[in-house]
């Protein structure tokens, strides 16, 4: 079943076209990776799906409903939640307060309590650091917090923008293991990455983005063995 | 993390604990008010109330006490000085909602003050051709009118951010002043005489709220401040307050957390405007005369200086900042001419040595109740408590933030 579908979406920054005529779909239960170099339009795609940017053309559908014109904060309530690039946590708030902000649009107390438990069991570190200010935590911990906070909205589609950015290699592995775990618990995941190796290995399907258009598509394994992708993104030729 | 720490890739629990200790130690060193704040928060509720009661009684007694050295006499009448300080404090509390809570830089706040003052004047002064109503009724009307102006200004401008918003609000401040000059009904420099006053007469038959007697006006304004503070305190701790903190810290992140950012920014603007209008109406009543000369951009900057001086985001700080900004030129009349120079230097020094203002805002736990604060301060005092502080479910019911019904 199609959860999210972009049809012929174009996004402009002023007169510069960041995304050109992009179409792709995410099926329920999948992990889908978008990989590409700097400036390929990865973050723009994410912001367009979460509603921070408006497309100049095209439509976005979520669970069959046209959400192209829907405000970002309403999309969260509908089930699209994002862990933004550069983590975007609230530096002055504690871990607990950050997580609580993630559930801002929710009213079901019991479901929220269950999601707090879920986040703390996925990231035991956050449970230990409940009262620490977000801004004083390490990069890896902030990334955990950003993902945990996004999960607090009980999303059906979780958008992860460069979860590995600035993290130590062993920690990247750990984050991707947790992403897989979140997916196995039933959350569909769309993730954007420069770390193509990990992103492709973990993904059910993947797209390669170059200057605002999708140039390759396939399963994660197909793209991992695709010579062109290998050369450009995996550092082997 | 400093570069001398060497590579620490995965923080193990020991190094992480050290990092927390370093951070908390650093924080304690930064704020000299922290010991007082800790002491205050460790007091029990009845003790806090008792202390507050003393402060309130002293505040009410201020114009009568007329303490030597502190007093502004013989240069300026002391009760009038007290009233001026109270008005500036009220303005600062209102502007603090906009600048301190929601993080919106408003350089034209005097416009709302002016709208409030003109509303009160035009509805009570015999010079005005409009409908006349009793003075006290103009106060809620002035608030409603300024809130309306706040929304009207907010809807187109709050899509802008940072510097752009500051410029537009600066322009709005000037527009209101210039309109007062060019619209005939607003009487420009001629202005409105004999603005209304609350009812009440003294034993000798003269009005209680006269222009020359600051004390009743001061008491009225102080009462208004206390009411506004109670309301602001509730807002701070509510869902709205949490949304403002989130918007101030990261607008985009707040939006994708499901916070209707635009709506809450307009609310901050409208509430701030309402308090500005309220103080304008009180000011017009006491002075008794309003014209276009009193609402220039410099006054806006002075209001902002009061908030920044006190510590943006801290309502007690705003009161102190407002009172200080009003007090200094009235007390030291010899140097009153140089007040902008003095405030300029004071602000520069403040930015160097204490960038968060005299009383910095509590960034964390703003949105949470007292129980959480106690839990946290207990856990930071003895670290083991932090490790297994909360019950295993991670969200004890008493830790749940207060939510206002929508």
Contact B252 A51 (CB under 8 A): no
pLDDT at B360: 77
Q: Please, which residues have CB within 8 angstroms of residue B268's CB and are 6 or more apart in sequence?
A: B97, B98, B101, B102, B104, B244
List chain B residues with CB under 8 Å of A117: 393-395
Q: Using an 8 Å CB-CB cutoff, list chain B residues near A52.
A: 252, 255-256
pLDDT number for residue B89 = 96
Angle at A214 between CA A212 and CA A219, to 5 degrees: 145
Tell if the pTM clears 0.90, that is, is over it.
no
Percent of chain A topping pLDDT 90: 61
C-alpha distances in Å from residue B326, one per residue of A16, B72, B77, B214: 51, 11, 13, 15
Give the minimum alpha-carbon distance from A80 to chain B in angstroms, rounded to a whole number: 9
What ipTM was assigned to the predicted interfaces of this complex?
A: 0.88
Q: What is the pLDDT of residues B259-276, one digit of tens each?
A: 999 999 999 999 999 999
Query: Are residues B250 and A88, on separate chains, in Cβ contact within 8 Å?
Result: yes
In tens, the pLDDT along B94-121 reads 999 999 999 999 999 999 999 999 999 9
What would the pLDDT profile of A66-88 be if each residue is shown by its tens digit? 999 999 999 999 999 999 887 78
The predicted-structure confidence for A137-160, as pLDDT tens digits, reads as follows 988 889 999 999 999 999 999 999
Give every residue of chain B whose pLDDT is below 50, as ranges: 1-17, 20-29, 363-371, 373-374, 376-377, 379-406
Q: Do B364 and A94 touch (CB under 8 A)?
A: yes
pLDDT value at residue B43: 81
Task: Out of B258, B365, B380, name the one closest to residue A153 (CB).
Answer: B258
pLDDT score recorded for residue A34: 93
d(CA A157, CA B136): 55
Question: What is the reported pLDDT for B79?
Answer: 92
Distance CA A58, CA A11 (A): 9
Tell me if A51 and B253 make a contact (CB, 8 A cut-off).
Answer: no
The verdict on a CB contact (< 8 Å) between B376 and A51 is: no
pLDDT at A44: 93
- Rounded Cα gap, residues A217 and A208, in angstroms: 6
Give yes or no for a cis peptide into B74 (omega within 30° of 0).
yes
User: Chain A contacts of B246, Cβ < 8 Å?
Assistant: 90, 93, 101, 104
Residues 6 or more apart whose Cβ sits within 8 Å of residue A86: A162, A165
- Which residue out of B257, B384, B398 would a mutagenesis test of the A interface target, given it has the greatest number of A Cβ atoms within 10 Å? B257
Q: Which residues does chain A have within 8 Å of residue B254's beta carbon, measured at their own beta carbons?
A: 101
Identify the burial level of B13 via C-beta atoms within 10 angstroms of its C-beta, where 0-12 means exposed, 13-18 middle and 19 or more buried.
Answer: exposed
d(Cα A67, Cα A61) in Å, to the nearest integer? 6
Angstroms from B23 CA to nearest CA on chain A: 7
Query: CA nearest B219: which of B76, B88, B63, B77?
Result: B63
Query: Quick check: B245 and A71 CB within 8 A?
Result: no
CB atoms within 10 A of CB B26: 10
Using alpha carbons only, give the angle B89, B94, B97 rounded to the nearest 5 degrees: 125
Output the CATH code of domain B78-371. Answer: 1.10.3470
Nearest CA in chain B to A106: B258
Phi and psi at B178, nearest 5°, equal: -70, -35
pLDDT at residue B6 in the model: 39
Q: Is the pLDDT of residue A192 over 50?
A: yes
Q: How confident is the model at residue A54 (pLDDT cuts 50, 70, 90)?
A: very high
Sign (positive or negative) of CA dihedral A177, A178, A184, A186:
negative
Domains belonging to chain A, first-starting first, are 2-79+155-233 (3.40.50.300), 89-149 (no CATH)
Contacts of B259 in chain A (CB under 8 A): 73, 101, 104-105
How many CB atoms lie under 10 A from the CB of residue B355? Answer: 11
């Amino acid at each position: 079943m199609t959860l999210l579908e972009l049809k012929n979406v174009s996004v402009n920054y002023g007169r510069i076209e960041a995304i050109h005529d992009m179409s792709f779909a995410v099926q329920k239960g999948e992990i889908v990776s978008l990989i590409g170099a700097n400036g390929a339009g990865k973050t723009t795609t994410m912001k367009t799906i979460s509603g921070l940017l408006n497309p100049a053309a095209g439509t976005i559908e979520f669970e069959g409903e046209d959400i192209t014109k829907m405000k970002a904060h309403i999309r969260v309530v509908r089930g699209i939640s994002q862990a933004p690039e550069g983590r975007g946590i609230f530096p002055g708030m504690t871990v607990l307060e950050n997580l609580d902000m993630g559930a801002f649009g929710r009213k079901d107390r019991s479901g929220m309590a269950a999601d707090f438990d879920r986040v703390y069991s996925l990231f035991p570190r956050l449970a230990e650091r409940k009262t620490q200010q977000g801004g004083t935590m390490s990069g890896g911990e902030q990334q955990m917090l950003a993902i945990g906070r996004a999960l607090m909205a009980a999303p059906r589609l979780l958008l992860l923008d460069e979860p590995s950015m600035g993290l130590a290699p062993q920690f990247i592995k750990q984050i991707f293991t947790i992403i897989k775990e979140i997916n196995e618990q039933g959350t569909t995941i769309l993730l954007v990455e420069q770390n193509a190796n990990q992103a492709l290995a973990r993904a059910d399907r993947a797209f390669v983005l170059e200057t605002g258009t999708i140039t390759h598509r396939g399963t994660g394994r197909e793209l991992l063995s695709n010579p062109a992708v290998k050369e450009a993104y995996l550092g082997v030729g | 993390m400093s570069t001398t720490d060497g590579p620490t890739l995965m923080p193990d629990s020991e190094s992480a604990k050290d990092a927390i200790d370093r951070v908390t130690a650093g924080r304690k060193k930064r704020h000299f008010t922290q010991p007082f704040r800790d002491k205050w928060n460790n007091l029990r509720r009845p003790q806090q109330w008792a202390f507050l009661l003393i402060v309130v009684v002293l505040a009410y007694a201020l114009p009568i006490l007329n303490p030597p050295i502190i007093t502004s006499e013989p240069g300026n009448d002391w009760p009038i000085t007290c009233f001026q300080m109270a008005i500036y404090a009220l303005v600062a509390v209102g502007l603090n909602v906009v600048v301190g809570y929601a993080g919106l830089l408003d350089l034209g706040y005097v416009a709302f003050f002016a709208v409030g003052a003109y509303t009160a004047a035009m509805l009570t002064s015999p010079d005005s051709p409009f409908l006349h109503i009793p003075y006290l009724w103009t106060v809620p009307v002035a608030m409603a009118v300024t809130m309306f102006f706040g929304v009207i200004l907010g809807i187109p401008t709050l899509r802008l951010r940072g510097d752009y918003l500051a410029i537009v609000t600066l322009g709005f401040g000037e527009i209101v002043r210039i309109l007062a000059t060019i619209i005939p009904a607003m009487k420009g420099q001629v202005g409105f005489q004999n603005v209304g006053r609350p009812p009440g007469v003294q034993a000798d038959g003269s009005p209680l709220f006269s222009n020359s007697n600051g004390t009743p006006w001061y008491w009225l304004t102080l009462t208004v401040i206390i009411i506004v503070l109670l309301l602001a305190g509730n807002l701070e701790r509510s869902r709205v307050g949490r949304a403002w903190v989130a918007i101030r810290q990261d607008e985009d992140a707040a939006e994708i957390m499901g916070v209707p950012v635009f709506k809450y920014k307009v609310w901050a603007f409208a509430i701030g405007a309402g308090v500005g209008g309220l103080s304008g109406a009180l000011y017009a009543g006491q002075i008794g005369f309003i014209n276009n000369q009193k609402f220039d951009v410099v006054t806006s900057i002075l209001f902002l200086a009061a908030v920044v001086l006190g510590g943006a985001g801290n309502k007690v700080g705003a009161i102190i900042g407002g009172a200080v900004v009003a007090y200094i030129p009235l007390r030291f009349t010899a140097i009153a001419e140089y007040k902008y120079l003095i405030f300029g230097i004071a602000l520069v020094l403040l930015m160097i040595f204490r960038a968060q203002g005299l009383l910095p805002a509590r960034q964390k736990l703003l949105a949470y109740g007292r129980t959480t604060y106690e839990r946290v301060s207990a856990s930071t005092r003895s670290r083991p408590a932090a490790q297994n502080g909360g019950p295993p479910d991670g969200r004890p019911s008493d830790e749940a933030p207060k939510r206002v019904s929508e």
